[in-house]
């Protein structure tokens, strides 16, 4: 790997290690965004072992500094949620771009990384689709089982929206994960709404 890529990943990790929120996994606590960025990077490489520099860099900076803009700093309605998500994406893209420019990466590469972070041109940029798959797979593998018991009344619709962002390859990987019986039943229901079979 290019030493500058390694240096950028190190700086992204160092930044995300500042997250005051902790993520508990298999008996240990980690800064949340640091842990999730590592897992996103791992999933991106599973989905595309030949991932290019822009996708690799985006995978470790997709949600960089997420804790700096808390959800409750926006109205707690749907429009407030959507504005929060848009503001977060811009924040991540700016933060990643600042770090990459500091390391003298080309404007072209910085723009390609930011395009992935902002999820632009998903229908024509396969890297953006890979990122969408990876983001959903991280959620399903590491966050879903703790999430669905709090949202049983709307979990199927939430899953349906997530699965719509994925392609067939993403769905196939999702069905290889381990779920509780209840958790998997909701995934089957969501897939059925897409006209697919979980089998």
Look at phi and psi of residue 125 and say left if phi exceeds 0, alpha if psi is from -120 to 50, else beta.
beta
String of b and e for 34-65 (b: at least 16 CB within 10 Å)?
bbbbbbbbebbbebbeebebbbbbbbbbbbbb
Write out the E strands in the chain: 22-25, 28-31
- In three-state secondary structure terms, 85 is helix
The string of pLDDT tens digits covering residues 53-87 is 999 999 999 999 999 999 999 999 999 999 999 99
The string of pLDDT tens digits covering residues 80-125 is 999 999 999 999 999 999 999 999 999 999 999 999 999 998 878 9
Give mean pLDDT, residues 31-56: 98
The string of pLDDT tens digits covering residues 141-179 is 999 999 999 999 999 999 999 999 999 999 999 999 999
Residue ranges per structural domain of the chain: 3-193
């Amino acid at each position: 790997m290019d030493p500058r890529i390694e240096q950028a990943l190190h700086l992204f990790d160092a930044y995300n290690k500042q997250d005051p929120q902790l993520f508990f996994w298999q008996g240990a606590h980690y800064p949340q965004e640091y842990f999730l960025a590592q897992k996103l990077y791992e999933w991106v490489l599973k989905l595309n072992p030949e991932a290019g520099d822009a996708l690799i860099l985006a995978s470790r900076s997709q949600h960089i500094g997420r804790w700096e803009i808390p959800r409750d700093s926006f109205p707690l309605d749907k429009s407030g949620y959507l504005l929060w998500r848009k503001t977060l994406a811009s924040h991540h893209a700016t933060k990643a771009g600042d770090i990459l420019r500091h390391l003298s990466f080309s404007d072209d590469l910085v723009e390609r990384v930011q395009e992935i972070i902002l999820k632009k041109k998903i229908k024509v940029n396969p890297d953006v689709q890979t990122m969408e798959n990876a983001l959903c797979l991280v959620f399903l593998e590491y966050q879903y089982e703790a999430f669905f018991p709090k949202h049983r009344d709307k979990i199927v619709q939430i899953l349906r929206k997530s699965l719509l962002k994925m392609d067939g390859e993403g769905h196939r990987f999702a069905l290889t994960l381990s779920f509780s019986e209840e958790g998997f039943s909701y995934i089957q229901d969501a897939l059925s709404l897409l006209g697919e079979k979980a089998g």
